[in-house]
Amino acid sequence: MTEALFKEYEKLLPKRIIEDIKEALPKGTGAAKVKKVLELALEEYLQSKVDPGESVGLISAESIGEPSTQMTLNTFHFAGVAEMNVTTGLPRIIEILDGRKDLKTPMMEIHLKSPFNKGKDIRIIAESIKETTLKEVIDEISINIAESTIELTLLAEKLKVLKLTPAQIIKVLEKSLKGYAVRQSDDRILMKAKGKEDNLNEIYKSKEKIKDIYIKGVKGISHVLPVKRDEEFVIITAGSNLKDILTLEYVDDKTTSTNNIHEIASVLGVEAARQSIINEVFRVIENQGLNVDVRHIMLVADTMCVNGTVKGITRYGVVSEKSSVLARASFETSIKHIINASLVGEVDELTSVVENVMLNQPIPVGTGLPGLVTKVKR
């Protein structure tokens, strides 16, 4: 009996709501009562739907814009770790909504698979993720002009921590820099230029170049910080490289995340990027102690991701997609848009708000949307 009722309402109400009602109702509720509940639920549902012609975008813009004027410019500092802070507040929101590719503070939160997240050897795991360049393991680098060689003095202690041997470093050097014969002598590495001699300029350039040679770890991860979250250990990093991190066998690829939305879009797809925009923006707003309905943020995230790539709310991003010339011209670089439109003979259909405000026509929103249709006697 009640099953039939639920079936009937399945066309009218979203599945999720019907399931919620099913769960909430006590067992053996009478059909009449169930019907009443469903009727009320339907009424409530219809009432909370957005009306046709509601300016949802503008309301979202105002709902996010107004509280963000109260945000502070403070950055959040990691206690105890020097120079590791995160952009939050308005700068971060601007960064996300602009769809910037280079973040001020790229960051990852790496969750680990079961045996590894218990805290054993967490420092070693963390340290192995961190990107190490040559300059971090050498004490001194100099050029021997007479021999036309580059001489590196290694930091033995540092090597021990990183579980590296001089032989490994020599291998890396040979691989990444052609034209040098690399050999070890005591705790030093000597690099002799093959072929052309006396080309000091070249040698000097090489010397500067090898300083930044990648030796170990994941590229782009400049700091690591193991943190205990509830019962689990996670690694927070400065710098982000989602693609490479996910390939590591001990990393839990379901919960590991980054704050770089473009990286998520390219590794996990737009849907993930959309969710990540929502999460990131919402987190910032929540951290500031402000209250914005998620649906406003969801709308913004949807707009940014509609056509499959992440686009910022800038004149190069979402705004450039507007169909109206006048609307585009009214937002930054007017002349560029007008001239380009005139070159191809673009037509403005006056379908959106800004153009109609400019022409002093009723805007097609709210009361301006419906038209009156009557039959005219001929």
Q: Which are the contacts of 286, defined by CB distance < 8 A and separation ≥ 6?
A: none
Q: Measured from the CB of residue 377, what is the shortest distance to another protein in angstroms?
A: 16
Give residues 310-349 in contact with another protein (rule: CB under 8 A). Answer: 338-339, 342, 347
| CA 21/CA 41 separation, integer angstroms | 9
From 40, 46, 181, 369, residue interacting with another protein (rule: CB under 8 A): 369
The Cα-based distances of 101 to 6, 108, 206, 259 in angstroms read 48, 15, 30, 11
Q: Measured from the CB of residue 31, what is the shortest distance to another protein in angstroms?
A: 41
From 25, 143, 248, 365, residue interacting with another protein (rule: CB under 8 A): 365
From 11, 367, 375, 378, residue interacting with another protein (rule: CB under 8 A): 367
Q: Measured from the CB of residue 23, what is the shortest distance to another protein in angstroms?
A: 37
Q: Does 307 bind another protein (CB under 8 A)?
A: no
Q: Measured from the CB of residue 54, what is the shortest distance to another protein in angstroms?
A: 7
Give residues 33-92 in contact with another protein (rule: CB under 8 A). Answer: 53-55, 58-59, 61-62
| CA 321/CA 77 separation, integer angstroms | 38
**First and final CA of the chain: distance in angstroms?**
55
- Would you say 177 or 338 has its CB closer to another protein? 338
| CA 292/CA 118 separation, integer angstroms | 36
Q: Measured from the CB of residue 368, what is the shortest distance to another protein in angstroms?
A: 3
- Residue 296's Cβ-side half-sphere holds a number of Cα atoms within 13 Å equal to 17
- Would you say 51 or 231 has its CB closer to another protein? 51
Q: Does 358 bind another protein (CB under 8 A)?
A: yes
Size of the site for another protein (CB under 8 A): 28
Q: Does 351 bind another protein (CB under 8 A)?
A: no
Q: Where are the beta strands (DSSP E) in the chain?
A: 76-77, 85-86, 107-111, 132-133, 138-144, 149-154, 180-185, 188-193, 214-216, 223-229, 232-238, 257-258
DSSP conformational letter for 317: T
> Contact positions toward another protein, by CB under 8 A?
53-55, 58-59, 61-62, 338-339, 342, 347, 353, 357-369, 371-373
